[in-house]
Amino acid sequence: MTDLVAVLRFLGFGEVRPVESGEWAPVSDLNGRLHGASTDEVHVLVHDRWSPPCRLVDPSTGERVAVARSPESPEP
């Protein structure tokens, strides 16, 4: 089990946009469903052809719960 915030920061992602809110926020401000989450609870999928390049997925349903980007990335 690994802290979700730590993984996102390690991968260079500084902002997340949860599906519920639709607003970009710093990784440090994760709240709601993602607050305190681990990689057991939310899978981090990264692909260079996606925009934004990181998707956070609920492993039990396969549903996307958020996306992440580096702070300097343009709005998709």
- Asked, as a colleague might, if the bond just before 52 is cis with ω within 30 of 0, I would say yes
Distance between CA atoms of 37 and 48, rounded to whole angstroms? 24
Structure confidence by residue, pLDDT tens digits, 16-58:
998 877 789 898 887 666 777 888 888 999 998 888 899 999 9
Q: What is the pTM of this model?
A: 0.82
Distance of CA 16 to the CA centre of its chain: 5
Structure confidence by residue, pLDDT tens digits, 64-75:
999 999 986 555
